[in-house]
Chains A and B, each alone.
Chain A
């Protein structure tokens, strides 16, 4: 049995949607950050699937760039979250809202 391209795209779209709504609805900064990674991995899955089914290497190559960039983003992002935690002793979004009108 072969899995069709549409099945991969469905899973990828689902992961992307879960990640998107996670970013919007969750309250914990770390969980939000994981949801962002989920979105990037949904993109990676779609890229690899397209690349495999359309016989084009570009998608596979792009995945490496995305993984490298995501790693850099996590390095900077976690540093900011840790620094903020030291300062405020919380990672919950609603308690991190000092910048207001």
Chain B
């Protein structure tokens, strides 16, 4: 490459375009510095600082959506490219990161674990997720994805005194590394095909999404391309927990600290879907003959498997994990709808709306779970929720609204999210998928309401039950926790009633 080429490349290095990511990284480093240099009596401000600064960034992002700094088009020599949905994705990850940090405060002080490192890793992982969803080059995608994954290895096994947390970390480590290797092999095959000078349309920049898309448009039936794309999709399916790559989900969700479970269930899954969205409308746009049947099959099995296995569970973290698999299935339907020209306009908005509804409802439930969890974080059973409505009516109400939204009860946000996905699927003519999804929703109402029943309705006591001690309820809910849970619940209800004005779609 000559001098002018380098100059052209250098002119695309617009650091201003990725300022939210830089701010997140800055917050993370400041947290570490504060932990180092503050006297130990004043370290209490670190959590406040971490959360307040993220909320400030979120406020700027939400209010300043109109005045985007950077330009659209490829940046950093084609490494990243900001798509039309980037503002929503950034807001999603910053909000989720702030809420995970908030949930972590009470968890970490109860388990007597260091806090600053947890905030550091959480914020850095969120920053790399924000980079991951705008990467338009496989090198960038891989590096950002691995930053996220390695951060999660640390977070899942964060409670290093607990054999369960470590075991969950080990399981996530082995299966995560396996999926990374599969993803990598897919990338290599795509690279090998697209850089082959013997093929028509071969490119010198084969890792770039745009160039690769152009190549695939001309060689959609090349076996190397088909195998490579399948392997890449399999690698991403692991991250979103779709069947048959879901084996890690229940165990890891149960063993991980509860705030990390929330982080895995919400941010990690959303990042996987945003990446899949970029791939489906980007390089794999001309592979519909492969992606449509592949993703449809995965979606159907995922919905049925997730819902059916969630029925018998007694551990609430496993219920959340397995029902999260089912939610991944519903979202996959929208991804399939995106491959179809009729559904392509609505489906991306449906995915974003669904993920936001999922975020509000899930964090409300995790907020309740963190408050109720005892010292044994891994064993939060459904029985612990007995008589919750009698003893802590506020928490029971939050739980009911959160679970109702996840189950898709009108007029809550989860219902509108499901409705949007179903409309997109209907427009795209995916009737079989629609049928599977409706069966799934019906099953899911059964186990979500099993949880609500546990909290609200008193079981008749059988002889012999008196021996079992009632689960000790923790004390009253703090004012901050009350405000946060109320906000999440209000957002869930408001998003269910008014969608226009908040979302452009």
Contact = CB atoms under 8 A, between A and B. Distances in A.
A94 interface: no
Contacts of B60: none
B150 A36 contact: no
B65 interface: no
B166 A83 contact: yes
B181 A84 contact: no
A62 B140 CA distance: 10
A80 B166 contact: yes
Nearest to A5: B192
Nearest to A36: B177
Nearest to A43: B184
Given A40-B184, A73-B146, A80-B173, A87 B207 contact: no
A40 B315 CA distance: 36
Interface stretch (B156-164, B327-335, B436-444): B156-164
A39 B204 CA distance: 26
A72 interface: yes
B188 interface: yes
Interface in A52-101: 54-56, 58-59, 61-62, 65-66, 69, 72-73, 76-77, 80-81, 83-84, 87-88, 96-101
Contact of A50 (B164, B173, B195): B195
Interface in B60-84: none
Nearest to B176: A73
Contacts of B157: 80, 83
A59 to B, nearest CB: 6
B174 A62 contact: no
Contacts, number: 123
A50 B174 contact: no
Nearest to A74: B177
B245 interface: no
A99 B146 contact: no
Contacts of B191: 47, 50, 58-59, 62
Contacts of B207: 58, 62
Nearest to A100: B251
Interface residues of B, number: 47
A29 to B, nearest CB: 7
Interface string A28-52: 0100110010011011001100110
Nearest to A56: B195
Contacts of B318: 101
Given A43-B185, A54-B197, A65-B139, A76 B167 contact: no
A43 B181 contact: yes
A55 B197 CA distance: 9
Contacts of B184: 40, 43, 66
B163 A87 contact: yes
A84 B170 contact: yes
Contacts of B272: none
Contacts of A51: 195
Nearest to B140: A65
Contacts of A47: 188, 191
A76 B153 contact: yes
Q: Give chain A's interface residue range (CB within 8 Å of chain B).
A: 35 or more
A81 B170 contact: yes
Contact of A59 (B143, B163, B185, B195): B195
Given A69-B146, A84-B163, A40 B153 contact: no
A88 B163 CA distance: 7
Contacts of A19: 181
Nearest to B181: A39
Contacts of A62: 138-139, 142, 191, 207
B476 to A, nearest CB: 32
Given A80-B157, A80-B173, A72 B195 contact: no
B154 A76 contact: yes
B146 A36 contact: no
A33 B378 contact: no
* B143, B181, B206, B312 pick with most chain A CB within 10 angstroms: B181
Contacts of A20: 178, 181
Interface string B34-48: 000000000000000
B206 A56 contact: yes
B28 to A, nearest CB: 17
Q: Which 5 A-B pairs have the closest CB atoms?
A: A39-B181, A50-B192, A54-B195, A99-B251, A84-B166
Given A54-B195, A66-B142, 20 more contacts: A9-B192, A20-B178, A20-B181, A39-B181, A40-B181, A43-B181, A54-B202, A58-B206, A61-B139, A62-B139, A62-B207, A72-B150, A84-B166, A84-B169, A96-B170, A98-B164, A99-B167, A99-B171, A101-B312, A101-B315
Interface of B: 138-139, 142-143, 146, 150, 153-154, 157, 160, 163-164, 166-171, 173-174, 177-178, 180-181, 184-185, 188-189, 191-192, 195-197, 202, 204-207, 250-251, 254-255, 312-313, 315, 318, 378
11 contacts: A23-B174, A46-B189, A54-B192, A54-B202, A59-B195, A62-B138, A84-B170, A98-B163, A98-B167, A99-B164, A99-B167
Interface of A: 9, 16, 19-20, 23, 29, 32-33, 36, 39-40, 42-43, 46-47, 50-51, 54-56, 58-59, 61-62, 65-66, 69, 72-73, 76-77, 80-81, 83-84, 87-88, 96-101
